[in-house]
Structure 1
Amino acid sequence: MPLPLYLLAMAVFAMGTSEFMLAGLLPDIASDLDVTVGTAGMLTSAFAIGMIVGAPLMAGLARNWPGRSSLLGFVLVFLAAHAVGAATTSFAVLFATRVVAALANAGFLAVALTTAATLVSPDKKGRALAALLSGTTVATIAGVPGGSMLGTLLGWRAAFWAVAAVCVPAAIGILKGIPARRVQQDAADGPALRSELAQLKRPRLLLVMLLGALVNAATFGSFTFLAPVVTDTAGLGELWISVVLVLFGLGSFAGVTVAGRLSDQRPGLVIAAGGPLLLIGWPALAVLADKPVALLTLVLVQGALSFALGSTLITRVLYEAAGAPTMAGSYATAALNVGAALGPLIAATTLSTTAGDLGPLWASGLLVAVALLIAFPLRGVIAAGRSSEVLQ
């Protein structure tokens, strides 16, 4: 894979760390800014909503800009938002910086997904996506635990400054490593924006976006609420929470890496093999969560299966949106973040049921089951190559 892909992945690492580490910093933020933890939790919602809205909005605004300039601009805005957030004493200002950071993150990821596909041959989009998303998986392995630990030792502001600092080499890497040519097409040379948006009427594209959102909802529904499963159900100490998160991250890295080599030519194999296993895994984790060895093993496996299946479906979004060369990345980003936003909300409703802390695991199983029920009768569509005309 070309070096520029890994430079983009460095920025994705910083952004993924910022998105996921917030959960461990909320109590400290609430105390410091004199708000309740519930109010501080609005920062997470603000980021998720900003990502969903920002993906198509920012991609639409940046579609006629040079790719390198767009990517660099989004990274610098993201850096500035974290610097302001780290320095402010106002919750309202911090809230605003999270919205701005989310918009920059969404815009960057939308453009980066499109850019990544142009840096490789047309039949290697899956491998390019895997390289790019490795930044997110490394964030769950090292960035999130590291950010939480930094917040514990030096306060939440230090974690925000650290994210801003990581953006500096990422920005330099983009400036030096991304080709200066216009990666995105001018409106005069490519489809009009209206034509690209019209691609969203295609059933096949909507299908893979829906499936990607459902699988990602299952992933983040359980990932968000793993901590009480570790400490209450399994009876492990709080330090084991970081261990479990790292294991999930290691699994996700392995899943993305393996799927990246299969999702271009054999997506049906990934979905047919990984889908049922993922479906079995979430209920199995719920049943065996009180056994630490089983918990640690299944968390690793579920991380691998979740990201293997999810990244394969998002790769299909890029293929199915080939008629929207400047907006395809935003469609993939929106699908990912609709799942990331709705998954925890759905999972949270189960916490007050008899399932308790294990409710999110059962909810994740149900979400995957829905995805497979939708996918099974249309498996030929999902597994089809780029030339398939089914459901056109």
Structure 2
Amino acid sequence: MPFAVYVLGLAVFAQGTSEFMLSGLVPGIAADLGVSVPAAGLLTSAFAVGMVVGAPSMTLAARRWPRRRTLLVFLCAFVAVHVAGALTGSYAVLLATRVAAALANAGFWAVALAAATALVPPESRARATSVVVGGVTVACVAGVPAGALLGGQFGWRAAFWAVAVVSVPAVVAVARTIPDDRPAAPSARGELRALADRGLLRILAVNALFQGATFCSFTYLATLVTEVTGLAPGWVPGMLALFGAGSFAGVVIAGRVADRRPGALIAAGMTSSAIGWAVLALAAGNVAATVALVFAQGMLAFGTGPALIARVLARGAAAPTLAGGYATAAFNVGGAVGPWLGGAAIGAGLGYRSPVWASAVLMALAVTLAATSAGTPPWRTRSARAGSRAYGRARWGGRTSRTGS
């Protein structure tokens, strides 16, 4: 795997830390800026909305730029808005910086996915995708807890400064390792036409449902383990880190399998994830079962997710610049809708197990959509053939398409 792919993973680590760390900083931000806790919580929603809107729009705006230049522009903008956020005393300015950070993050994500797969041979594309997405899992394991610790000890601004500082080595590494090639992109109208393909839209919908299921339960994992499992609040960071450790294990293991057996990995991962969320909802009162299932669900979520993203990039080969943007948007649609659905379930008085049941339902919908797509589920796919095409002859939605290099 080229070193440049790991550099992209490092940058995604910094950005993933910024995206998720805010949940532990909301009380401090609210107190410091003199706003309500719900108002401070809107900073998270603003970031999610910025990611969904920014992924396709930023990619479209920079689609003909050389990749290294594009990545550097987005990454430097990301650093700059975090410095501005750390310095401001205005809630409105901080809200604006979160939207700007999300736009930069979304653009970087989309271009990074395309760049990573362009740097490797066709038979290694899913593994390259796993390395980039792996930056998010490392953020969950190390970055988010570290940000919360910094915020608790030195104030929320310290966490913003830390994200900016961690991003600087990524800027230098991107400048030195990423080729400054200009992607051979078709016309914007041609790419948009390619993205209207029904099979691709189904894959995007499955991605959104899958990620929604993951973040629905992850967002309310703390309340599950304290209110249902009965663990003390001091266990919460450890359980979150355990989910992150499972995610990292899933990325590492699946990254070595996804290019050889993508169909089998997706089928097994999606089905097992649906069953796992249902079992966790039933067994959440048992400590041992909860510990095991939290790790397992993290592993399934981030072991299967990159393979689904790679499938989007493969199916969207006719839209080489925008496919990554739409894959990023689908990821973040799930990241926004899932927590909202889990919160609505709790607010309706369904209890603290209800977000996990909601995750099981979302996963069941994802499996059903995939399995009933014109009678041909996505896992009926031949393995990749080295040097010739990304996933051989990929069959999804009853149609056959060649996705290649």
TM-score by length of 2: 0.93
Q: Show the counterpart of 1:35.
A: 35
Equivalents in 1 of 2:32, 2:349: separation in Å? 35
Deviations 1:142-168 (A, max 9, x none): 001111111111111000100000011
What is the deviation of 1:261? 2.2
Q: Show the counterpart of 1:52.
A: 52
CA contact (8 A) 1:267 1:382 kept: no
Matches within 5 A, 1:136-215: 136-182=136-182, 184-185=183-184, 190-215=185-210
CA contact (8 A) 1:215 1:310 kept: yes
1:278–1:344: structure 2 CA closer, same or farther, 3 Å change rule?
Answer: same
Say if 2:78 is the partner of 1:78.
yes
Match of 2:282 among 287, 302, 324: 287
Say if 2:213 is the partner of 1:223.
no
Match of 1:391 among 376, 399, 403: 399
Say if 2:244 is the partner of 1:238.
no
CA contact (8 A) 1:215 1:367 kept: yes
Q: Which one is further off, 277-286 or 231-240?
A: 231-240
Deviations 1:202-221 (A, max 9, x none): 11111111101100000001
**AA at the equivalent of 2:81:** A
The DSSP-based 3-state class of the residue aligned with 1:201 is coil
Q: Show the counterpart of 2:384.
A: none
Match of 2:264 among 265, 269, 282: 269
Say if 2:338 is the partner of 1:326.
no
Matches within 5 A, 1:365-376: 365-376=360-371
Equivalents in 2 of 1:78, 1:352: separation in Å? 35
Equivalents in 2 of 1:363, 1:47: separation in Å? 23
Q: Which one is further off, 71-80 or 285-294?
A: 285-294
Say if 2:255 is the partner of 1:257.
no
**AA at the equivalent of 2:399:** L
What is the deviation of 1:355? 3.0
Q: Show the counterpart of 1:130.
A: 130
CA contact (8 A) 2:371 2:377 kept: no
What is the deviation of 1:112? 0.3
Equivalents in 2 of 1:388, 1:294: separation in Å? 38
Deviations 1:87-142 (A, max 9, x none): 11100000000000000000000000010010001222101101111111100000
CA contact (8 A) 1:381 1:388 kept: no
Deviations 1:174-198 (A, max 9, x none): 011112333x22xxxx411110111
The DSSP-based 3-state class of the residue aligned with 2:372 is helix
CA contact (8 A) 1:222 1:344 kept: yes
Say if 2:109 is the partner of 1:109.
yes
Say if 2:12 is the partner of 1:12.
yes
Match of 2:308 among 289, 298, 313: 313
CA contact (8 A) 1:203 1:391 kept: no
The DSSP-based 3-state class of the residue aligned with 2:347 is coil
Equivalents in 1 of 2:180, 2:186: separation in Å? 22
What is the deviation of 1:386? 4.4
Equivalents in 2 of 1:169, 1:5: separation in Å? 14
Equivalents in 2 of 1:213, 1:248: separation in Å? 20
Q: Show the counterpart of 1:382.
A: 378
Equivalents in 1 of 2:56, 2:106: separation in Å? 8
**AA at the equivalent of 1:40:** A
Equivalents in 2 of 1:130, 1:338: separation in Å? 20
What value does the CA root-mean-square deviation take over the aligned residues?
Answer: 1.4
What is the deviation of 1:331? 1.5
What is the deviation of 1:230? 1.8
What is the deviation of 1:347? 1.1
TM-score by length of 1: 0.96
**AA at the equivalent of 1:387:** R
What is the deviation of 1:293? 1.8
Equivalents in 2 of 1:372, 1:240: separation in Å? 33
**AA at the equivalent of 1:274:** G
CA contact (8 A) 2:51 2:332 kept: yes
CA contact (8 A) 2:82 2:163 kept: yes
- Which structure's residues are more often helix, by fraction? 1
Equivalents in 2 of 1:335, 1:123: separation in Å? 24
Q: Show the counterpart of 2:385.
A: none
Deviations 1:246-271 (A, max 9, x none): 11111111112222222233222112
For structure 1, which runs of at least 5 residues remain unmatched after alignment? none
Deviations 1:269-325 (A, max 9, x none): 112222222111112112222222221111000001111222211110010000011
Q: Show the counterpart of 2:243.
A: 248
Equivalents in 1 of 2:314, 2:222: separation in Å? 36
CA contact (8 A) 2:195 2:323 kept: no
Deviations 1:70-103 (A, max 9, x none): 1011111000111110111100000000000000
Equivalents in 1 of 2:323, 2:272: separation in Å? 29
CA contact (8 A) 1:353 1:359 kept: no
For structure 2, which runs of at least 5 residues remain unmatched after alignment? 382-390, 401-405
Equivalents in 2 of 1:381, 1:195: separation in Å? 27
